[in-house]
Chain A
C-alpha cells in the first residue's frame, strides 16, 4: 500500500548536457560582449581623434543643438551637436582618451602600491600589518569623493593631480585584500617549508606568494578601473577636470544640463559611454572572479 508522499509532478526534463550548455551560454554572452566593448574602448583611446568623423573642437555656431541624425556642412551628426555646434559623437570619442588614460594610470599606480604594501605587510606580519590596517581604516573613514573634491578643488585640477587622487581611491581595497590573503597564504605549510629552506626574502614573496593573490589583484584592479572612470567623470561634472583640448565626458554632461528640455541628447550620449565602459569592466571582472575562485 503506497500512499505517495510525492512532492512534485515528474516533468520531462532536458538532458543534463543541454541544461549545462544553456547555463554556460547565458553566462558567456554578456562576457563576450563586455570584452568586445572594452576592446572597442581601447581602440578608441589609442586612435580616438583619428576615428572621429569630424574635428571635435570645430564649432559651428549655426548648427547648434541639432538633434541626432541631423546633417550639416560638416557631415552627419550621429548624436547631434552641442551648444557650440560641436559634433557630440566626435566629442565623446576625443574625450575618451584623457579619461581612460588617467584612469588606467591611476589604477596601475594604485594597484601596484596597494599590492606591494599588502604583500610586504602580510609577509612581515605583526605591527606592520596592524599599521596598514589602521591606515586603510583611516582612509575609509571618510567619504572619498568629498575628499577628492576638496583636494582637487583647493589645489586646482591638473592631469597628474587627478591621477594621484584617483590612485588614492584605488590602493586601499587592494591593500586590505592582498594583506589578508598574503597572511593566509603565509600560514600554508609549503610557504613555511620554503622559508626554512631558502631563508626569507623578496624572492619568496614574488615567486611563491604572488601567484596565489594575483587573481584577487586582477579582479579588484578591474573594479577599481570602473570606479576610477566614475570618479574622474564625476569630478569633471562639477568642473574639476584637468585642462585639455576637448571637454571630458563629465564636462559635456554638465554643459548639457542647461539644455535638458531642448537638447536631451547632450546628457544622454556621454553618460552612455561612461555606463557602457564601466559596465563592461564590471562584467569582465565578475566573470574573472567566477572563473578563478576555487569553487
Chain B
C-alpha cells in the first residue's frame, strides 16, 4: 500500500511542478509586463527600473529557479495590479471556493446517490427512466447557462434569493444548486451502474438466505460495495470543484478563486493567474492522495494487494 501512495504523491508533485513550469513559460511568453503596469508614457529608464525590480531582466533560467525556490517557500511573486503578494491574494479568495465546494458536493451526494440507488433497485421503472433522462439532459446543459437561468427565475423574477454576494446561507443556495446540477448526472449514473453491478452478486443473496431484511441487505451488503467506485469519482469531483468552478463563480459573482482568475485575466495580472494555477494543482494533488487513502481503507481487497 505504501508503494502506491508514494506513486500518487510523486504524480502530484510532478503535476505541481508541471503547473509551475507551464505557467512560468506562459507568462514569459506573454511579453513585457512593464506595459501593463506603468502608464503609456513611462520612460525607458522607468521600464528598466521596473524590470530590475520584478527580476525579469535576469536570464530566463535563473528567473525560473528563483521562482521555483520562492514557490517552495510559499512566495509566488507579486501581483502586477497592486504589488500585493500573490499568495496572500489567492488565500483570501480560497476559503470562499472551499465553502462553495463543500456545500455543492454535499448537496450532490445527498441527491445523486439515493436517486441512483433507487433507480437501480427499480430498474426500468419510471424513476429509473426519469433519472437517466435527467442525466443525459444535465450533461448537455452548460453550467453558466443553468446558472443564468437559476438567477433569472429565482433571484430576478421571483426575488426569493439574492443575486450575488456571500451574505448568509441564502446566497449559497443558487450557486450550490447550479454546481449540483453539473455534477449530478455523472454521480447518479455511476451509482446506478454500480448498484446494478452489485445487486445480482451471489453474496447479496446469501445475506437474504440468512434472513436479513431488505433494508439490511441494501445497506450492509449492496451499498457498502457499490459505493466504492462512487467514492473514487467523488474525490475527483470534489477536487475539481476546488479549482474548476470558474463559470459558476462568475455567474453568481461568488468571490472565490474562479472569479479572481477571471478578473486577473481581464486586468492582465498574470502572476495572480499563475498563483491560482499552482495552488489548485497542489490542492488537487492532496485531494487525490486523500481519496486514494480512503479508497484503500474502504475496500479490503485493495489493502492486501500491491
Q: Which residues of A contact B (CB under 8 A)?
A: 134, 137-138, 141-147, 149-151, 153-156, 226, 230, 233-234, 237-240, 250, 253, 256-257, 260-261, 264, 267-268, 271, 274-275, 278-279, 282-283, 286
Contacts and interface: CB of A to CB of B under 8 A. Distances in A.
Given A142-B19, A146-B246, A279 B152 contact: no
Contacts of A138: 11, 14-15, 18
A256 to B, nearest CB: 8
Secondary structure dominating the interface of B: helix
B244 A146 contact: yes
A268 B136 CA distance: 20
B278 to A, nearest CB: 10
A268 B251 CA distance: 14
B26 A150 contact: yes
A210 to B, nearest CB: 28
Contacts of B220: none
Contact of A154 (B247, B273, B288): B273
Contacts of B247: 145, 234, 237-238
A71 B278 CA distance: 52
A260 B240 CA distance: 29
A144 B157 CA distance: 33
Given A142-B15, A143-B284, A153 B265 contact: yes
A141 B139 CA distance: 21
A271 B148 contact: yes
Interface in B141-195: 141-145, 148-149, 151-152, 156-157
30 contacts: A134-B11, A138-B11, A138-B15, A138-B18, A141-B11, A141-B15, A141-B284, A142-B15, A142-B243, A143-B243, A143-B244, A145-B247, A146-B243, A150-B23, A155-B30, A230-B142, A233-B142, A234-B247, A237-B144, A238-B246, A238-B265, A253-B148, A257-B148, A264-B157, A267-B149, A271-B142, A271-B148, A278-B142, A279-B137, A282-B136
Given A143-B280, A278-B141, 17 more contacts: A141-B284, A141-B288, A142-B281, A143-B239, A144-B244, A145-B246, A147-B277, A150-B261, A150-B276, A154-B26, A154-B30, A230-B142, A238-B262, A240-B265, A264-B157, A267-B145, A275-B140
Interface of B: 11-12, 14-15, 18-19, 23, 26-27, 29-30, 136-137, 139-145, 148-149, 151-152, 156-157, 239-240, 243-244, 246-247, 250-251, 258, 261-262, 265-266, 270, 273-274, 276-277, 280-281, 284-285, 288
Contacts of B244: 143-146
A154 B270 contact: yes
Contacts of A137: 11
Contacts of B262: 149, 238-239
A142 B284 contact: yes
A150 B246 CA distance: 11
Nearest to B288: A141
B286 to A, nearest CB: 11
A149 B23 CA distance: 12
Contacts of B140: 226, 275, 278-279, 282
A253 B19 CA distance: 31
Contacts of B276: 146, 150
A78 B157 CA distance: 22
A278 B251 CA distance: 21
A286 B136 contact: yes
Contact of B156 (A261, A268, A278, A283): A261
A146 B261 contact: yes
Q: Which 6 A-B pairs have the closest CB atoms?
A: A143-B244, A153-B265, A271-B145, A279-B140, A278-B140, A141-B15
B243 to A, nearest CB: 4
Contacts of B280: 142-143, 146
Given A141-B288, A150-B26, A155-B29, A279 B136 contact: yes
Contacts of A282: 136, 139-140
Contacts of B284: 141-143
A37 to B, nearest CB: 11
Contacts of A271: 142, 145, 148-149
A239 B280 CA distance: 22
Given A144-B244, A155-B26, A150 B277 contact: yes
